[in-house]
Amino acid sequence: MKLCERFSWLSVCVLFCQVSAVNAQVGIVDSNAKVKPTFVLLGTYHMGSEGNNVFKSDVDEVTSPKRQKQIVDLIEKLKKYKPTKIAIECDTEYDAKFQENYDNYLTGEYVLSENERDQIGFRLANELGQKKIYCVDWGIFPEDPLYWYEPYAEKDQELNRFLNGLREKGKKDNDAKNKELRSLSIIDQLIFLNQPDQIEKAHQAYFDIMRIGRGDEYVGANYLSWWYGRNMKILVRIIRITESPNDRILVIYGAGHNKLLTQFATESGFYNVESPLKFLQKK
């Protein structure tokens, strides 16, 4: 091969690597495309460990024989969507660990935890013959105390009284929701959580937090801006795993994210956004 030909092939290879690297960062999405990838967000309660959630789900154990049969029924429903990628609520920092768990699950060396990432994500991916699970979460909270609405409010008698009122109302609403969930099958639980009115109700609670602050110290508003930013960054991570206009992405996330992730995915114009109710509800 002539020297000039070698350099020509080398240039092509370098260009291909550069394009691939760029695509890995920005994703294969185009708001003007005729064919777009599909986006479905399945909002769920946290079936296992819940991290820093203020109000906890109090539903009977998903590992009971009754609930396990319902999980099998749920997986059959979700298979109708035919997702090509399953994104779960774990930070990309732990992607390798979750992938290791999933690989071990495929070989029978890992026992599924109660968490929905395992019970829904791992089991569905296995049923579809997929080898990869995608962590897409982001949740770095700023150190600036003007984002920490709880300790700020607790130092102010009036604001503390207001915050305690929000906590009492939140607990009452959460207890009522848990009571409703306990009476339903897992499929019906998810149908309940993904109804438009439930999505709006879960989202509106953040605007009460927004009201916390004094003068030019908009602590609650700062927190809400972080929450919006968090969901934008999660969407960016979903965009980064989108590799084809034929991708059908299923995002399994806490129902509190449902409003913003679905809104941002829709407003971006990058995806055909569908409701999970299309696959969960009986025709």
**Per-residue confidence (pLDDT) for residue 59, from 0 to 100:** 62
- 159 domain-assigned: yes
Lowest mean pLDDT among 8-12, 149-153, 273-277: 8-12
Inside any domain, residue 20? no
Q: Identify whether 87 is part of a domain.
A: yes
Q: Identify whether 4 is part of a domain.
A: no
Q: How far apart are CA 235 and CA 238, in angstroms?
A: 5
**Model confidence at 11, in pLDDT bands (50, 70, 90)?**
very low
**Average pLDDT for the chain:** 90
Give the pLDDT band (50/70/90) at residue 7.
very low
**Residues 84 and 28 sit within 8 Å (Cβ to Cβ):** no
Residue 2 falls inside a structural domain? no
* Cβ atoms of 229 and 169 closer than 8 Å: no
Q: What is the pLDDT of residue 282?
A: 78
Q: What's the domain range around 248?
A: 34-283
Instruction: Please enumerate in sequence order all residues whose Cβ is within 8 A of that of 82, keeping only pairs 6 or more positions apart, or say none.
Output: 128, 248
- 94-102: Cβ within 8 A, 24+ apart: 94/135, 95/134, 95/135, 98/133, 98/135, 99/132, 99/133, 102/133
Question: How many domains does the structure of the chain reveal?
Answer: 1
Q: Within a domain: residue 72?
A: yes
Is residue 213 assigned to a domain?
Answer: yes
Q: Does residue 71 contact residue 119 with C-beta atoms inside 8 Å?
A: yes
Average pLDDT of 262-282? 96
Whether the per-residue pLDDT at 22 is higher than 80: the answer is: no
Q: What is the pLDDT of residues 30-48, one digit of tens each?
A: 999 999 999 999 999 999 7
Q: Give the mean pLDDT of 56-77.
A: 87
The answer to whether residue 19 sits within a structural domain is: no
